Each structure stands twice: as structure tokens, then as C-alpha cells.
């Protein structure tokens, strides 16, 4: 499991200084309804706006 999860979405509730994610868990899904072929075809469902 990754030790550090990086995030550049500064308007997310879990964003912390240094582009760190402070969420206890991360949930990522495919946005296209099938296996994603690259990161552009995924979404972070953990995102919560501040």
C-alpha cells in the first residue's frame, strides 16, 4: 500500500500542505463504465469540496 497519496486538488476537504491527501481511504472508479486505460479515464470518489 502507498505510504503517501499526493493530490493537487486544493479545494478538496482532504488536501493538505505539500499536496498530501489526509483521507483515511481513497476510492477511485472508472468513469467510462469499463476498465480504464489511463488515469484520465478515472475519478476520485473520495473528493469532497471545502
CA–CA separation, 27 vs 48, rounded Å? 12
Tell me how many domains the chain contains: 1
Confidence bin at 39 (pLDDT 50/70/90): very high
Least confident of 4-8, 31-35, 46-50: 31-35
Which domain range does residue 11 map to? Answer: 1-50
**What's the whole-number average pLDDT of the chain?**
94
Nearest to 21 by CA among 47, 49, 42: 47
pLDDT per residue as tens digits for the range 18-35? 999 999 999 999 998 889
Look at the pTM and tell me if it is higher than 0.85.
no
Amino acid at each position: 500500500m502507498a505510504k503517501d497519496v499526493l493530490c493537487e486538488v486544493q479545494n478538496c476537504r482532504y488536501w493538505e500542505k505539500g499536496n498530501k491527501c489526509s483521507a483515511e481511504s481513497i476510492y477511485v472508479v472508472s468513469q467510462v463504465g469499463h476498465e480504464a486505460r489511463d488515469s484520465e479515464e478515472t475519478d476520485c470518489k473520495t473528493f469532497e469540496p471545502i
